[in-house]
Structure 1
Amino acid sequence: MTDLSGQTDATREGVVLVALGSPVAPTEEAIGDFLSEFLSDPRVVDLPRALWLPILNGPVLRRRPARVLGQYEGIWTEEGSPLRVHTRAQGEALARLLPGRDVRVAYQYGSPNVADVFLDLARSCDVVTVLPAYPHFAPATVGSIADRVRECAGLAAAEGHRPRIRAARSWPSLAGYVDWHAGRILEEVSREGVDLVVFSWHGVPLRKAHGAARYRAECHATASAVMERVEAQGCTVAWEETFQSKFGPGRWLAPATIDTMAALPGRGVRSVLVTNPGFLADCLETVYEMDVLNAGVFRQAGGVSFRRIAPPDAESAARFLAQVRGALTPASGRPAR
């Protein structure tokens, strides 16, 4: 197997793959614990703490776990939540590509937590490389991870541990990533033609703290690069971009995927191919929100064929991440800001 480590044996490097996380079980208690940690992050919900926390700890956590329990039960596998199953497999595949490196999987919310894993690596490694499982930068994802790394780097320094830190920020035009998605679209279109390809990205609020302009531009850069590859192979198909998973009040990036799906049949679109390149692993937002909710709305409105391209297999995702790691600049000793 090709060694993509790019390090000498004298350097002890820890590599941490960081994904969002998910409940540890499809129960109201586990869902509540996950939502409490997730929605308490000021990078995720930037409302004033005095306003938001009573709402979160009151009506939100009293009602939402029961409301979404059936959704989690519907996507759960024998091995656990799809996100954890796939992320664990990606970590194992990445370790095979980086022999001699201490490769770990961690989560922003839940266990093993990125703070604990980073501190453990900082105590034993000369270099710690942080690879967020997000191709596009958003303050609530990559920014939140950087916050944790910065805080934990300070704790490690107080103990006398000062590893050099490398952290990826985004990789919207990574060649292997773009090529993989272009290849999957070509496969699906050649197997059965479609009227429209829809890139559905996770939405973010339009408030300044969420960096919507940069995030949207990076998503569009990916979609444009993918479709350029598709068209270069002689395949011409209409495409557009939408945003999903709106939560809470206020304006978010638009158009909303769910609204678009309801409107497409009226525009003459009977067959749609959906792709979610912002997700490196299946999760509630893909398996339930896409395959159940959005597919149902599309068919109810008169659509005939709804197909979704699943996220990359573990080996492909690991290769993207190894390429991202290989492209990082020399360790700076500071986490990315």
Structure 2
Amino acid sequence: MKGVLLVNLGSPESPTAKDVKPYLDEFLMDERVIDVPNWLRNIIVRGIILRTRPKKSAAAYAKIWWKEGSPLVVISERFTEKVQKQTTMPVALGMRYGTMTIQKALQELQNKGVDEVLLVPLYPHYAMSSFETVVVKTMEVQQAHFPEMNLTTLPAFYKNEGFIKVLSERIKEGLEGFDYDHVLFSYHGIPERHIRKSDPTRFHCKIDGSCCNTNSVAHNTCYRHQCFETTKKVQAYLGLPDDKISNSFQSRLPNDPWLKPYTDFEFVRLAEEGKKNLAVITPAFVSDCLETLEEIAMEGKEQFQEAGGGQYRHIACLNDGDAWVEVMAKWVNDWEKEGVLPV
């Protein structure tokens, strides 16, 4: 029997330092998030970051927390319920980090008789710190606890026609009534070395002005290329002028080169260049979360306006919108009936 496992990032149990600390520990101790030797990662995470970050992060979570709980979890649960209504297969939700574990989700599917699982990492783009870690973790759990299960992974859908259409329509809706000067596509940042590590050719990805536009097998696992492709396809769909859009990357750790340009720097640059009305979309996320609701919608607005900008609009993620649910339902139903995966 076939079933579907949706996996998102995860969340602390509550917006308190007590609950944020173990969540951050699990997240930052992931070797695909901070990819240094374990002894050094221990020093960085447990010796430095976790001494101060939980309290700061808890305060940020408190600003965006819903009465129902973590926005990312609540949205993901609503999305799962809606997808379930449009397929005959069991659909379960797991989180890469936190207490809503992948193991619990696979157990839920097994209890319903599922022995063939479509794994859906809820990330449009391939990155070792998001898409890849979900796949690797799920495979580890499956091999250790559910060896009779077969896993198939839905590929990164950054350029899929259905995804581009629903994302574009979401942006179009978000821009209604807003006389924008600029639309900033802000993607989650990753260290530059992750791009090179994910390059199977070991030579193509130079992170310059040409490699992302030169065809290569490396693009199958190149986060930077895939982000740029999403923007290009949305731009073409909506007919956005070249001089009114740009890309940036948010959420970085210090003391390491991450993908540029940095979103917070772009807020200042765009304001100083005279852009008065700015719209920001975060296409690396399908569900609104701390990084979109606090970092972009709140801090971003403050940074832009303090630098001289005017009106600021954060465009929400796809979340549990009906059109996005229909796209996902089509993907999983095509897999169930024909064994076909989206491209």
Query: For the Cα contact (< 8 Å) 2:5–2:120, is it kept in 1?
Result: yes
User: What is the RMSD computed on CA atoms of the aligned residues?
Assistant: 2.1
Equivalent residue number for residue 106 of structure 1: 94
1:58-100 deviation per Cα after TM superposition (whole angstroms, max 9, x unaligned): 222121111222111110110001101101101101101112x
User: Scaled by the length of structure 2, what TM-score is found?
Assistant: 0.86
Out of 142, 145, 149, the position equivalent to 1:163 is 149
1:241 and 2:230 correspond: no
1:223 and 2:231 correspond: yes
* Aligned CA distance change for structure 1 residues 247 and 120 (closer, same or farther; 3 Å): same
1:40 and 2:29 correspond: yes
* Aligned CA distance change for structure 1 residues 88 and 189 (closer, same or farther; 3 Å): closer
Query: For the Cα contact (< 8 Å) 1:275–1:309, is it kept in 2?
Result: yes
1:319 and 2:326 correspond: yes
* Aligned CA distance change for structure 1 residues 137 and 224 (closer, same or farther; 3 Å): same
Equivalent residue number for residue 288 of structure 1: 294
Unaligned runs of 5+ in 1: 1-11, 333-337
CA distance in 2, matches of 1:280, 1:185: 13
* Aligned CA distance change for structure 1 residues 187 and 67 (closer, same or farther; 3 Å): closer
User: Scaled by the length of structure 1, what TM-score is found?
Assistant: 0.87
Q: CA deviation at 1:236?
A: 4.1
* Aligned CA distance change for structure 1 residues 318 and 51 (closer, same or farther; 3 Å): same
Q: CA deviation at 1:120?
A: 4.7
Q: CA deviation at 1:191?
A: 1.5
- What SS class does the counterpart of residue 108 from structure 1 fall into? strand
Q: CA deviation at 1:294?
A: 1.2
Query: For the Cα contact (< 8 Å) 1:25–1:80, is it kept in 2?
Result: yes
Out of 99, 110, 114, the position equivalent to 1:125 is 114
Query: For the Cα contact (< 8 Å) 2:91–2:109, is it kept in 1?
Result: no
Out of 304, 307, 316, the position equivalent to 1:298 is 304
Aligned runs of 1:51-200 on 2, under 5 Å?
51-99=40-88, 101-122=89-110, 124-156=113-145, 161-200=147-186
- What SS class does the counterpart of residue 20 from structure 1 fall into? strand
CA distance in 2, matches of 1:49, 1:194: 46
CA distance in 2, matches of 1:248, 1:24: 27
Q: CA deviation at 1:182?
A: 1.8
* Aligned CA distance change for structure 1 residues 155 and 331 (closer, same or farther; 3 Å): farther
CA distance in 2, matches of 1:200, 1:279: 10
- What SS class does the counterpart of residue 192 from structure 2 fall into? coil
Equivalent residue number for residue 5 of structure 1: none
Query: For the Cα contact (< 8 Å) 1:34–1:110, is it kept in 2?
Result: yes
* Aligned CA distance change for structure 1 residues 210 and 244 (closer, same or farther; 3 Å): farther
Query: For the Cα contact (< 8 Å) 1:178–1:226, is it kept in 2?
Result: yes
Equivalent residue number for residue 282 of structure 2: 276
* Aligned CA distance change for structure 1 residues 83 and 262 (closer, same or farther; 3 Å): same
**Which shifted more, 76-85 or 242-251?**
242-251
CA distance in 2, matches of 1:51, 1:261: 33
Equivalent residue number for residue 211 of structure 2: none
CA distance in 2, matches of 1:147, 1:328: 21
CA distance in 1, matches of 2:175, 2:254: 36
Equivalent residue number for residue 264 of structure 2: 258
Between 1 and 2, higher relative CO (CA 8 Å, sep ≥ 6) is seen in: 1
CA distance in 2, matches of 1:85, 1:279: 15
Equivalent residue number for residue 7 of structure 1: none
- What SS class does the counterpart of residue 275 from structure 2 fall into? coil
CA distance in 1, matches of 2:110, 2:130: 22
1:201-259 deviation per Cα after TM superposition (whole angstroms, max 9, x unaligned): 0010011336686101111111111110111xxx6471110000002431000000000
The alignment-based identity, stated in percent, is 29
Query: For the Cα contact (< 8 Å) 1:200–1:243, is it kept in 2?
Result: yes
1:117-161 deviation per Cα after TM superposition (whole angstroms, max 9, x unaligned): 22553563131111111000111111111111221232246xxx4
- Counterpart of 1:320, as a letter, is V
Query: For the Cα contact (< 8 Å) 1:129–1:166, is it kept in 2?
Result: yes
**Which shifted more, 138-147 or 176-185?**
176-185
